Structure 1
Amino acid sequence: MSHALVPPPLPRPAAALVPALPLVAVVVLAGLPPTGDGAGPADVVSALVVGYCVIRLLRERRRPLSPVAAVVLGLPVVGLALAAMGAASPQAALDGMSRYLQIFVLVPAAVLVLLRGRADFRVLAWSFVGLALWQGAVGTHQYVTGTGASYQGENVRAVGTFGATDVMGMATAVSLGVVCAAGIALGRAPVRQRAAAAGCALLLVLPLALSFSRGAWIATALTCAVQLALAGLRRALKVAAAVVAAGVVLMGGFGVGTAMLQERIDSITEVTDTPDQSVVDRYTLWAAATGMWREHPLTGVGLKGFPEYRDGHATLALSSGSDIGGAGEEYHRQALLSPHSMYLLVLSEQGLIGLLTLAGGWLALLVCALRRLRRARRRGPGLDCALVAVGLLLWLLTDFVYGDIGGPSTVLTGVALGLTAWWALSRDDRPYTARRDEASERVEEAATR
């Protein structure tokens, strides 16, 4: 009778996906339309995932992270604690502390705990590609039908489901999808998987262009170029030829090279000669952030303190805000409450201690990930995971020069950092993981011969 109450075991393919499913849910829910100013569905689920990891570790009575992983992921806590003590109010300290811990500590640690091997890593990487395809399709439809966010008086800017208040949301999702697809395509996965990934990467070029996000363009182009170089010269030449061909078709055959897009591309090289108002605002905000840091060099002005100190350090060149409209939003002005640079935001609010602890952890991840990538190139298996992990971190490090966290898409940053941390810091040596990966490696080697 007792045997009848035991549920049947899951099939092996389904059982292999179970550990990664909570993290996949976080990525998928990030693509839902925003519900207001509070925490979005993806943020709520990420908190539940972290709580699940804590309960699981307590029940299993095992150490969650290796000493190296604990130090690298725990470094930001030092700067955060000092900056929280200098916050203007306890509420500001709590809000800032919880957001930073979520994105840079807790969610990456949850990815480290839940992923069991390279198969789980690939499932999560493909979920980024799937989200990018969905957002790209919505964004392209917005451009074609004129239902996107306002840009130069026309509602043509592709923003996906993130809306006009988070114009960087779709660009971030699509860019991370391109990086994941490029890494898989350049690895040693089976031929069909590599071909599918390459096709997805080429398809995503169009919505990325229609996002009109210069920062995302630069970060994606730089990251993909580094991925090509790390994958080897032969693959780099093949992929470069395919990208050029796709660019010719998109720009010429489908008429993507509109005057607005060409003007946006040209503006990248004009930021010092004849910058537009958005560039002027950004320079002014950067100067204000550095001014705050000079007055409070070690610990900054406190978490969530940039808006309060901004007007005291900004010049008259700063506009009253940015224009927001289209994509379901009524026209209004949105206040500029951050310097639009993650490094300068941390420097101004957390000081030199905060920047060194946060950026120091990122650089440690990059070094460890590159070391493991070198071993993967020599031995073969896992090269796709290595290229995805290194690519995601490089994209974030580049994008943080002219972007910061904020909005529903921010949770994707935490998951991306978690993938990099898993590749760089995990001890991928458990027996069941080794057996499963050995079998997949034999398939990879046979497919690439």
Structure 2
Amino acid sequence: MFPLILCYVVLTIVRPQEYIPALIGVPVLPIVLALSFAAWIASGTGRPRAPQFPILLAFFAVLMVSEVANGWVGGVKDQLGKFGPVVLAFFMIAAACNTQRRILTLMSVMVLCATILSLHGIGQARSGIGWTDIPLGEDGRIQYVGIFNDPNDLGMLFVSVFPMACLLLKRGSPFGKALWLGCILVLLYGVRLTNSRGAMLGVLVVIGGYIWYRRGAIVAGVLGAAGLAVMKMLSSRMQELDAGEESASGRVDAWYEGLQMFKSHPLLGVGPGNFTDYNPLTAHNSFVLVLAETGFVGYVLWLMLIGYTFWMVATVLRLKPDPITDPERHAAWSVERPMALTLLLSLCGMFTCAFFLSRSYMIVLYVVLAIVTGFYLGARERIGGLPSFSMNESGMRWVPAAIGSIAGLFVLVSVLLRTEG
């Protein structure tokens, strides 16, 4: 099953089926996913116990119910085809990636695939067109095929795997260190070529988060401010990072319209994919998009999915067994800690990007969430003493958290609109 999962991830990111003539039109991704699912069933591996599994299924159900509630019964079939593969991929990756070795292997594959996309962008920036026959964007920003046709999506991918590449660099042999260092440099250059403000902020958050963990908040804040100043010098779009700038203004207006959609359809939203039926510009915010399209019910579930995932890696980092009274657990925790920190930084960078992008249903986001879920389930067995999360005990806390975050979005948009005016 695991080799098929790796193949599925490669096809999802590199997407040769979309530009190699012999593969165009062949349902390669569905075939590999179906084979992976069949291998999973044949292996007899059951669904591990983690709240993310029922939450994701419930969110999937809300997507379909929302379509029906908004008058499109055919939307059930549409969501089965669009989001169904995401659910299957999440389940299989989370079930399979419960050992450090498998997680590191999957990280290696993701970093190498993202590096290939960045190399494509570098060639595209130099010659004006990439080997996929995709030209450089009109605004001079690099792009790829399929789900990575938007430079912002490329940037989000690069940011998501950046911490993984850093972990691989630390653990690699001399040759491996050279390889992963090269990947890191190529990825960071790729972020610059995307000229994505969200991706640049994501890189800053990843680096700042690491410094915060190692050196404290004050050092991280000072260096973060310096890093932001450097990024503004390197990117013309970062220099326009204010609510009055045209692109930013359009985003704020889209956020406002998304909140109005929620007010008019508070329970189940306007339906997945229907945001642009009400506003010409997409939400440019994954949280606003889920809130507008799936209403309060879908938003709570989506927030739970994300919240439990962050909670898991934070729990591992906070454990810190005493090295004197419990040396065995401390030794086991010391092995797991770097990976927990890496995954936390990957989540932070990815959701920094997601806050400025409409990528609530994008496969890469759920792959990372699945890796974290599998990691925690494996870490519980390897360390011992880590809690099992149960929605019966902690599920209701997400309702006030959702209400508070929604109120925060309303306040933020109100402030930004006044600033814009």
TM-score (norm: length of structure 2):
0.72
Deviations 1:289-325 (A, max 9, x none): 1111101111112233223233xxxxxxx6xxxxxxx
Local SS of the residue matching 2:137: strand
Local SS of the residue matching 2:94: helix
Q: Select the residue among 350, 354, 363 that pairs with 2:307.
A: 363
1:150 matched to 2:150? The reply is: no
Given residue 150 of structure 2, which amino acid in structure 1 is its aligned partner?
D
Question: Any conservation in 1 of the 2:144–2:150 contact (CA below 8 Å)?
Answer: no
Q: Select the residue among 366, 376, 389 that pairs with 1:424.
A: 376
Q: Select the residue among 265, 284, 300 that pairs with 2:253.
A: 284
- Counterpart in the other structure of 2:352: 398
- Counterpart in the other structure of 1:226: 209
Given residue 345 of structure 2, which amino acid in structure 1 is its aligned partner?
G
Given residue 165 of structure 2, which amino acid in structure 1 is its aligned partner?
A
What is the deviation of 1:393? 2.1
What is the deviation of 1:47? 4.1
What is the deviation of 1:225? 2.1
State how far apart, in whole Å, the 2-side matches of 1:344 and 1:43 are.
Answer: 35
- Counterpart in the other structure of 1:95: 78
User: Structure with the greater relative contact order (CA < 8 A, sep ≥ 6): 1 or 2?
Assistant: 1
State how far apart, in whole Å, the 1-side matches of 2:172 and 2:334 are.
Answer: 10
Given residue 5 of structure 2, which amino acid in structure 1 is its aligned partner?
L
What is the deviation of 1:33? 5.7
Given residue 224 of structure 1, which amino acid in structure 2 is its aligned partner?
I
1:173 matched to 2:157? The reply is: yes
1:74 matched to 2:57? The reply is: yes
Given residue 107 of structure 2, which amino acid in structure 1 is its aligned partner?
A
Change in 2 beyond 3 A, CA 1:190/1:381? farther
Given residue 150 of structure 1, which amino acid in structure 2 is its aligned partner?
G
Q: Which has the higher strand share?
A: 1
TM-score (norm: length of structure 1):
0.68
Deviations 1:226-266 (A, max 9, x none): 13433x339xx9xx99xx99x99xx9xxxxx7xxx532121
Local SS of the residue matching 2:82: helix
Change in 2 beyond 3 A, CA 1:66/1:386? same
- Counterpart in the other structure of 1:207: 190
State how far apart, in whole Å, the 1-side matches of 2:30 and 2:159 are.
Answer: 25
Change in 2 beyond 3 A, CA 1:202/1:374? farther
Question: Any conservation in 1 of the 2:48–2:95 contact (CA below 8 Å)?
Answer: yes
What is the deviation of 1:178? 1.6
Deviations 1:338-377 (A, max 9, x none): 3121111111111011001011111011101221234489
Deviations 1:204-232 (A, max 9, x none): 211210111111111222123213433x3
State how far apart, in whole Å, the 2-side matches of 1:42 and 1:181 are.
Answer: 33
What is the deviation of 1:34? 7.2
State how far apart, in whole Å, the 2-side matches of 1:286 and 1:307 are.
Answer: 12
Deviations 1:365-419 (A, max 9, x none): 1101221234489532133422332223222322221112389xx3322322221
State how far apart, in whole Å, the 2-side matches of 1:174 and 1:43 are.
Answer: 27
- Counterpart in the other structure of 2:417: none
Q: How many residues end up aligned between the 2 structures?
A: 358
1:349 matched to 2:293? The reply is: yes
Given residue 166 of structure 2, which amino acid in structure 1 is its aligned partner?
A
- Counterpart in the other structure of 1:262: 235
What is the deviation of 1:190? 5.8
- Counterpart in the other structure of 1:7: none
State how far apart, in whole Å, the 2-side matches of 1:382 and 1:43 are.
Answer: 41
Greater CA deviation, 73-82 or 395-404? 73-82
State how far apart, in whole Å, the 2-side matches of 1:304 and 1:295 are.
Answer: 17
Work out which of the two has the higher radius of gyration on C-alpha atoms and give 1 or 2. 1
State how far apart, in whole Å, the 1-side matches of 2:25 and 2:308 are.
Answer: 28
What is the deviation of 1:122? 0.5
State how far apart, in whole Å, the 1-side matches of 2:340 and 2:102 are.
Answer: 14
Which residues in structure 2 correspond to 1:96-115 (within 5 Å)? 96-103=79-86, 105-115=87-97
Identity across aligned pairs (percent)?
18
Question: Any conservation in 2 of the 1:129–1:180 contact (CA below 8 Å)?
Answer: yes
Question: Any conservation in 2 of the 1:342–1:400 contact (CA below 8 Å)?
Answer: yes
- Counterpart in the other structure of 2:387: none
1:55 matched to 2:38? The reply is: yes
